[in-house]
């Protein structure tokens, strides 16, 4: 499992929104995309999945060029979790089952129900199966969404701010689930806002600004007052404790 | 899904009761007893022709109801809006202009009006879709603009219609009293083919409930699905409107009522809407037949029932928004 994005450029309304993005995600890794609002994190994820078409550059998955013109094919090799979703009164079980859509011709079959049930158990939400999705809390909804991704059974996950709007406990629960899954030989590219969560849960960090990746590396290697100022435009203290790194913003540059 | 079975059974029984009532009630006093006689082979030709008329009228009402409600159901899921209606694409206003033009130009026979209404309604949808395919928002605006423009055209045609006034007006108001077997055949084809497409796509319509991007993320080609659902809706409603005129609100009331009872899963919702409309439409047509001497166009009755229901929905929505 290896995803490689090479020198990808994307335009929207003739404005270049990704400029020469190159990145790599390997088996077993969780890689974070960190950057301010509008920096291009979501655009990178959407381009890899094939919703946006690059005007330049190539995306490889396991050495093969990813011809991302067809979302039906893309959904069989990549699990993409968009940031926003509409409210629905579908049951939790039905929402999870939607992850089986790429394999369903008309309606889900027994095997699809079994896989969806396993995914629900994996996120600890099996007791909620019959509940309406719209009645769940933010954290519960996000776990259900993860179960939906898991039951797509893809090796590679693209997650757009899976911890946004969640309380601290739910944030950690969600990230630990992602970690458990990637440890089984999968990989994830995750757009995140919370720098400290990203530093402590992800193997590598890609720092994005103005549609470019300007710093990339392991958390311990690239996080410094300078790189935080470069990317976010804030003054920050960097604390280190037992190999863990914490960024404490103290003011605006 | 198992617990929904008794409710489905009830709807099925409702449909049968409604069908029998519709065949046995009418302005003449030929009723259930005479129907039994026909079934046992002991009847006169006069009675037979009354039943033949009621039978085609009942089947027509059922199929029109099924067409409008199944397309309404799919539109509501596609737009993620319980107030969406199959007519928002300009079908009904397009059909009205076509029918009025046919009648005024002396092509007032049943097949001619059907053909004119069918073709003009498809043209109206095509124009709306071409103008608004960029987004749902554009589509709705284009639909409103088209409906306003075409209703102006219809009003003008009514204004100059002279002796044909009554025929044009009665056609637009919608009803089943001119039911004939040609009409039944036309709407049978569109209803069967159209509902099959809707049922076939019900899982994909579920995927779109979470949002367009979520649907794409599980492999649904949203643009293609939108094209399929909109063209099928056009086909279904054009079929219904061209044989029965403009029957309002069925496309909203039925799917929404089914949604309240059966939930949002289109695999259940679309068949439930079909059964509910099969119970509802012939029953309303009976009311149209017996509520006044002569009869009231059924479109008036569905609108009289539908508008208060619409207001109820809006109020309910507001309460939900207020939490």
For chain B, what is the domain count? 1
CATH classification of the domain holding A146:
3.40.50.300
Please indicate, yes or no, whether residues A172 and A47 belong to a single structural domain of this protein. yes
Per-residue pLDDT of B161-198, as tens digits, reads: 888 888 888 888 888 988 899 999 999 999 999 999 99
In chain B, which residue's Cα lies nearest the Cα of A152? Answer: B218
CATH classification of the domain holding B110:
1.10.3470.10
Q: Per the CB < 8 Å rule, is B219 touching A72? A: yes
Q: Where are the strands (E) in A124-218, listed by range?
A: 156-160, 187-192, 204-209, 212-217
Phi-psi region of B82 (alpha: psi -120 to 50; beta: other; left: phi over 0): alpha
Q: Is residue B318 part of a domain?
A: no
Per-residue pLDDT of A148-164, as tens digits, reads: 999 999 999 999 999 98
**B-chain residues near A95 (CB < 8 A):** 210
Out of B80, B219, B263, closest to residue A86 by CB: B80
pLDDT of residue A140 exceeding 60, the answer is yes
In chain A, which residue's Cα lies nearest the Cα of B204? Answer: A101
Give pLDDT, residue B257.
86
Q: Per the CB < 8 Å rule, is B265 touching A99? A: no
In chain A, which residue's Cα lies nearest the Cα of B1? Answer: A130
Beta-carbon-side half-sphere exposure of residue A237 (alpha carbons within 13 Å): 4
Out of A74, A82, A90, closest to residue B211 by CB: A82
Q: Per the CB < 8 Å rule, is A71 touching B221? A: yes
pLDDT of residue A42 exceeding 50, the answer is yes
A120 vs chain B: nearest CA distance in angstroms? 17
In chain B, which residue's Cα lies nearest the Cα of A132? Answer: B263
Q: Per the CB < 8 Å rule, is B209 touching A82? A: no
For the record, the structure tokens of A137 come out as: 């809390």
- Please compute the mean of the pLDDT values over residues A31-51 and round it to a whole number: 94
Out of B200, B206, B219, closest to residue A90 by CB: B206
In chain A, which residue's Cα lies nearest the Cα of B213? Answer: A82
Cα separation values, B119 from B5, B24, B152, B250, Å = 40, 35, 19, 22
Q: Per the CB < 8 Å rule, is B216 touching A51? A: yes
A45 and A35 in contact (C-beta within 8 Å)? no
Chains A–B, number of C-beta pairs less than 8 Å apart: 78
Please indicate, yes or no, whether residues A216 and A230 belong to a single structural domain of this protein. no
Q: Per the CB < 8 Å rule, is B80 touching A152? A: no
Domain span holding position B9: 2-313
Please indicate, yes or no, whether residues A138 and A248 belong to a single structural domain of this protein. no
Q: Per the CB < 8 Å rule, is B210 touching A71? A: no
Higher pLDDT, A135 or A1: A135
Q: Is residue B291 part of a domain?
A: yes
For the record, the structure tokens of B159 come out as: 């204004």
| Residue of A104, A100, A102 whose CA lies nearest to A117 | A100
Please indicate, yes or no, whether residues A240 and A206 belong to a single structural domain of this protein. no
In chain A, which residue's Cα lies nearest the Cα of B200? Answer: A106
Give pLDDT, residue B323.
37
Q: Is residue B118 part of a domain?
A: yes
Per-residue pLDDT of B282-294, as tens digits, reads: 999 998 888 877 7
Give pLDDT, residue B299.
85
Give pLDDT, residue B2.
46
Please indicate, yes or no, whether residues A89 and A135 belong to a single structural domain of this protein. yes
Which H, E and C letters describe chain B, residue by residue?
CHHHHHHHHHHHHHHHHHHHHHHHCCCCCCCHHHHHHHHCCCCCHHHHHHHHHHHHHHHHHHHHHHHHHHHHHHHHHHCCCCCCCHHHHCHHHHHHHHHHHHHHCCCCCHHHHHHHHHHHHHHHHHHHHHHHCCCHHHHHHHHHHHHHHHHHHHHHHHHCCHHHHHHHHHHHHCCCCCCCHHHHHHHHHHHHHHHHHHHHCHHHHHHHCCCHHHHHHCCCCHHHHHHHHHHHHHHHHHHHHHHHCCCCCHHHHHHHHHHHHHCCCHHHHHHHHHHHHHHHHHHHHHHHHHCCCCCCCHHHHHHHHHHHHHHHHHHHHHHHHHC
Please indicate, yes or no, whether residues A72 and A150 belong to a single structural domain of this protein. yes
| Residue of A142, A161, A154, A190 whose CA lies nearest to A75 | A154
**B-chain residues near A132 (CB < 8 A):** 263
A35 and A208 in contact (C-beta within 8 Å)? yes
Q: Is residue B319 part of a domain?
A: no
Please indicate, yes or no, whether residues A218 and A235 belong to a single structural domain of this protein. no
Q: Per the CB < 8 Å rule, is A81 touching B211? A: no
Interface test with B, best of A45, A49, A88 (most B CBs within 10 A): A88
In this structure, what is the dihedral angle of CA atoms B16, B19, B22, B23, given to the nearest 10 degrees? -110
Please indicate, yes or no, whether residues A203 and A248 belong to a single structural domain of this protein. no
Domain span holding position A126: 2-222
For chain A, what is the domain count? 2
Please indicate, yes or no, whether residues A145 and A246 belong to a single structural domain of this protein. no
pLDDT truncated to tens, each residue of chain B (323 aa)?
A: 446 788 889 999 999 999 988 888 876 766 666 666 666 666 666 777 888 888 999 999 999 999 999 999 999 999 888 878 888 888 889 999 999 999 999 888 889 999 999 999 999 999 999 998 887 788 888 998 999 999 999 999 999 988 888 888 888 888 898 889 999 999 999 999 999 999 999 999 999 999 999 999 999 999 899 999 999 999 999 999 999 988 988 998 899 888 888 889 999 999 999 999 999 999 999 988 888 777 888 888 888 877 787 678 667 755 554 43
* pLDDT band per the 50, 70, 90 thresholds, residue A107: confident
* Residue matched to tokens 């029109």: B64
């Amino acid at each position: 499992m290896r995803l490689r994005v090479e020198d990808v450029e994307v335009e929207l309304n003739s404005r270049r929104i990704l400029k020469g993005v190159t990145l790599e995600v390997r088996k077993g890794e969780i890689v974070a995309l960190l950057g301010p609002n509008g920096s291009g994190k979501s655009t990178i994820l959407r381009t890899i999945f094939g919703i946006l078409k690059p005007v330049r550059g190539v995306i490889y998955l396991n050495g093969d060029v990813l011809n991302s013109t067809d979302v039906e094919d893309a959904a069989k090799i990549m699990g993409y979790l968009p940031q926003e979703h509409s409210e629905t009164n579908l049951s939790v079980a039905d929402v999870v089952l939607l992850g089986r859509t790429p394999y369903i011709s008309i309606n889900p079959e027994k095997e699809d129900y079994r896989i969806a049930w396993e995914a629900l158990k994996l996120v600890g939400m099996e007791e909620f199966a019959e509940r309406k999705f719209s009645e769940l809390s933010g954290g519960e909804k996000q776990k259900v969404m993860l179960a939906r991704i898991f039951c797509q059974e893809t090796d590679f996950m693209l997650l757009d701010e899976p911890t946004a709007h969640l309380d601290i406990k739910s944030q950690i629960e969600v990230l630990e689930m992602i970690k458990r899954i990637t440890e089984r030989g999968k990989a994830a590219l995750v757009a995140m806002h919370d720098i400290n969560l990203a530093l402590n849960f992800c193997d590598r960090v890609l720092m994005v600004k103005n549609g470019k990746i300007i710093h990339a590396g392991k958390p311990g290697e690239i996080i410094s007052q300078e790189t935080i100022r470069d990317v976010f435009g804030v003054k920050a203290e960097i604390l280190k404790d037992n190999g863990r790194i914490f960024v404490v913003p103290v003011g605006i540059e | 899904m198992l617990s929904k079975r008794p409710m489905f059974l009830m709807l099925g029984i409702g449909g049968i009761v409604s069908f029998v009532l519709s065949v046995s009630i009418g302005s003449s006093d030929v009723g259930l007893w005479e129907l039994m006689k026909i079934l046992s082979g002991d009847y006169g030709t006069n009675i037979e022709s009354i039943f033949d008329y009621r039978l085609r009228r009942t089947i027509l009402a059922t199929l029109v109801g099924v067409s409008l409600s199944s397309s309404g159901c799919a539109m509501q899921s596609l737009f993620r809006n319980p107030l969406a209606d199959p007519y928002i694409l300009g079908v009904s206003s397009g059909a009205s202009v076509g029918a009025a033009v046919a009648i005024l130009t002396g092509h007032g026979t049943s097949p001619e009006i059907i053909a004119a209404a069918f073709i003009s309604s498809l043209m109206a949808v095509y124009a709306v879709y071409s103008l608004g395919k960029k987004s749902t928002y554009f589509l709705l605006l284009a639909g409103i603009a088209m409906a306003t423009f075409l209703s102006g055209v219809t009003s003008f045609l009514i204004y100059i219609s002279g002796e044909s006034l009554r025929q044009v007006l009665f056609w637009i108001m919608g009803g089943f009293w001119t039911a004939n077997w040609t009409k039944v055949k036309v709407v049978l084809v569109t209803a069967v083919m159209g509902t099959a497409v809707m049922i076939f796509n019900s899982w994909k319509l579920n995927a779109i409930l979470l949002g367009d991007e979520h649907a794409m993320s599980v492999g649904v080609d949203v643009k293609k699905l939108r094209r399929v659902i909109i063209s099928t809706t056009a086909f279904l409603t054009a079929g219904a409107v061209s044989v029965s005129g403009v029957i309002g609100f069925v496309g909203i009331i039925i799917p929404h009522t089914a949604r309240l009872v059966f939930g949002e899963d289109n695999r259940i919702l679309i068949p439930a809407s079909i059964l509910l409309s099969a119970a509802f439409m012939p029953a309303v047509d009976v009311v149209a037949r017996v509520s006044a001497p002569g009869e009231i166009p059924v479109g008036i009755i569905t609108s009289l029932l539908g508008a208060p229901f619409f207001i109820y929905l809006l109020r309910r929505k507001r309460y939900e928004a207020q939490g």
